[in-house]
Structure formats: C-alpha cells, structure tokens
Amino acid sequence: MPFETAFLATVLPELILLATACAVLVLDLYLNDEQRGWNHNLAILGLAATLGTVGLLSNNGVTIAFSGSFIRDPFGDLLKGIILILTIFTFVYSRDYMRERGLWVGEYHVLVLFATLGMLIMVSAHSFLTLYLGLELLALCLYPLVAFDRDSKPGAEAAMKYFVLGALGSGMLLYGISMLYGATGSFGFADVAEVVNAEGLENKILVFGLVFVLIGVAFKFGAVPFHMWLPDVYQGAPMPVVLFLASAPKIAAFAMATRILIDSLGALQADWGEILMILAILSIGLGNVVAIAQTNIKRMLAYSTISHVGFIFLGLLAGTQEGYAAAMFYTVVYALMAAGAFGVLAMISINGLEVEQLDDLKGLNDRDAWLAAMLALMMFSMAGVPPAVGFFAKLLVLDAVVSVGLTWLAVVAVVFSIIGAFYYLRVIKLLYFDKAADSTPLRLAGDAKIAITVNGLAVLLLGIFPASLLGICNAAFSG
C-alpha cells in the first residue's frame, strides 16, 4: 500500500544501518584475523550509505509515521548526519589502537553500529515508547563496549558501575514516563503536549512525572549531581570507546531532552527551566573546578564534559528559539571537539603506550607536530578561545541567557569558564614546552591523519564561518 511505502522511506536510513550491522555480524563468521579489515570497510561503507540517505531524504517538511511514533524532520536530519559522521571518525581513529591490542574483531563493529542505530531511533522518536526503545538499544551496546578489553580490571569495574547506575537512571526515566502516561493517557509527544497545555501544574501526577523524567535526562547527560559514573567510565574504558561515548551519545541525549522537554512538556518550560538552572550551575562549577585537580587525561576531559553539559542546559533553560538553537549548536560543536581530542589520544596510544596521564602528552610536538597542533586546537576550542568554534558556541549560549534577563547566570558561567581555562592551557604547555621521555616520531595511518585534519578544519572553519550551521539550527526550531 502507498502509505506503507512512505513509512519505509521514512525509516530507510535506519533500515540501511540495521542491514549493515547484520551483514558485518554474518561476515565476521567467515573471516580470519588477517581479513578483519573487511569488517571495517563494510561498516564505513554502510555508515556512508546511511549518511547519504539522510541527505537525500532531507527536506523542509515533517513526516510522521507508524501511528505517530516516528518523525522525520530537519531537526532529526541534522543530528543524524552528525552522529553518523562521528561514528565514521570513531572507526577511522580506533583502527590501529584496536588492532595492536587484539581487539579488532567483528563484535566491536557490530556493537558500535547497533549503538548508532539506537541513537538514530532516539533522534526520530515521536513517542516515549520509541524513545525508550532507542535509549535501551544504545545503553545495552555501550555496557559491553566499556568492558571490551576483557583483560582490563579497570574496564570491568567501570562497566559494572555504568551498568548499575545506568539501570538506575533508566529506571527513573521509565518511572517518570509511566507517570506522564497515567496523567495524560498517551505515550505520544503530541498527545502529552495537548494535555499539558490544558492542565499544567494542576495535575500533580504530571509534576512528579516531570521531575523523574528530568532526572533521567540529567543522568544520560552526566550532569551534576548525576555525574558519578562519568569519570570512572571514561578512565576505565578503552580510548576508542571513550571517543565514541564522549561524542555521538551526547547528540542523542540532546535529542532526547529536546523531544521530551520542548515537544511534549514545552508548556511547563518555566518550571523545568528552573530545575535546569540548578543543574547547569552545579555542572559548570563542579566540572571546571574538579578538572583542575586531575592528573589523568581521561578524568580531566570527563569533568570537562560535565561543564560543557552545563552550557547546553543554559541554552535550553532560556526557553526561546534562539536559546534552543544555541544549545543545539553547542552540542554539535562539543561532539566534534570531543571526537578530535580523544581521536588524537587514541592515535598516539600505540607501541604499547596507553596515554592515561597528562605527563604522557609531554613533547608531543617533537614527535608529531600536526597531531600536537590538532590537540591544541581542540583544547583552545573547549576553553572558548577565538577563532575556534568553541568561543562562538559559548557566546551564543550566553547571549541567549542574557536576552531573557538572566545576566547573573551568564556572569557565573563566564567566571567558571575562565577558571576552567587553566586545565586546557596546561595541556598546551605539556605539548610544546616540556620534553618527551621518548622522542621517537609517530608513524600513523594516512586515513587517520586525513580524518583528524577534517575534524580540526571543521572546528576552525565553523568558528570563522558559523552562519551555515547556526542557520540550520535555527531552522530546526523555526517550525
């Protein structure tokens, strides 16, 4: 029937990615250790095909399918495209790292592909059931990825903590969803929004549901005080897994927050905005201050992530189209910066060296000047130093906050950002002004160097010419 064909076209990117994951799973049965590169090539090809399909289906309209549970719109198209690009970066950056440690197996590719599929479902969810389905598919793939190195005790410990606390966060979210269903009688975002507009805070069950849903969202972002899993997971997981975990899932978490808070609970913005304000202040403050005391590079960047989540919340709590677009811009930019930073760390963790401590970065400029420049660019961007795009992302969020009369909140964010600049600049000092214990030049694959160059240019050029991405972000919320 025609409507069934239209539905299949709406989910065509997800179907292509699902077929790719299944193909890699089957192909791996027939490959020996010397042929594992076929998994890599097939995964990259499938992701590229999925990305191309997203681009071909992209238009200014909105398509709702499967009884209102799935939506395709400009908002989702942009976020899906970024997620797929980040996943391609993950595979390219991680190849040498995983191959050297005997982890270059089909299960790695399959888990990453299915996790990506879960994120695409989250981005296009138009009901709480679809959203939760995508979230659990993502989570159930990330747990084994964190413990993928079976010989690593810190990895096993991190995966156990992540599993237990992740189950707790998912339980909170599911409990909030059940309350919203009890209050509205529907799982669909549009139906929930209709009831919320009519009843508001007079429905007490709705209020409790909002609180529990916000807890679930804050946990998935890693916002204070639901951040306790983040530093331990970053420290214990293999570097390529941290690279993936720090970038693409943040895009999916933003989509989840937007779909829930804006699409279904937008009428309560004044109420959930106050809660996000508290979470934002705590995240920016604790993230930047505690990061200064870290000597482990993974933990330092984990607390850095927490502080960046606070800035994303600032954009959302503004409650305006400009604020939402700024938060979206910031999320995309942060994901690109995180992918670049952890990508460099994965690329230099070779020949038995595991880059864990800040001291491991000493003298990187003497070993590979280009990689040192790329990592320095990522650090400058995260610190908000122009002309890198991190400066413009922070400026957009602060402008959105000031425009709604919360100037004091912008001042607090700026103060903590200045404090946080210390630990980013410390990395620059190690790269260029300290001597390396081993000055042997690095020999890296050409595709990895091309990928980090593209990543770095994106961070630089988006800072110089931000209008294109900002225009897309504004268009995503203009409807």
Look up residue 34 and give its DSSP letter.
G
pLDDT surpassing 50 at residue 390: yes
Which of these, 452, 450, 448, 454, lies nearest to 100 by C-alpha position? 448
pLDDT at 34 over 80: no
Q: At what angle do helices 369-383 and 446-464 cross, to 10 degrees?
A: 30
pLDDT band for 1, please (50, 70, 90 cuts). Answer: very low
Taking the model in full, what pTM does it have? 0.94
Q: Are 159 and 236 in contact (CB under 8 A)?
A: yes
% of the chain with per-residue pLDDT over 90: 56
Q: Is the pLDDT of residue 39 over 50?
A: yes
How many whole angstroms from its chain centre is CA 87? 11
> Which two structure tokens, joined as six digits, stand for 395?
């400026």
Contact call for residues 394 and 453 (beta carbons, < 8 A): no
Residue 444 has pLDDT above 90, yes or no: no
Q: How far apart are CA 192 and CA 174, in angstroms?
A: 15
CB atoms within 10 A of CB 164: 11
Q: Read off the amino acid at residue 296.
A: N
d(CA 118, CA 137): 5
Name the DSSP class of 13.
H
User: Left if phi > 0, otherwise alpha if psi is -120 to 50, otherwise beta: which for 434?
Assistant: beta
Residue 227 is predicted with a pLDDT of 86
Residue burial 192-205, b: 16+ Cβ < 10 Å; e: rest: bbebbeeeeeebee
Q: What are phi and psi of 60, to 5 degrees?
A: -85, -5
Three-state DSSP at 414 gives helix
The length of the chain is 479
171-217: per-residue pLDDT in tens?
999 999 999 888 888 888 888 888 888 877 777 888 888 899 999 99
Exposed (0-12), middle (13-18) or buried (19+): which is 444, by Cβ within 10 Å? middle
For residue range 254-280, what is the model confidence (pLDDT) as tens digits?
A: 999 999 998 888 888 888 888 999 999
List, as one string, the DSSP characters of 89-103: HHHHHHHHHHHHTT-
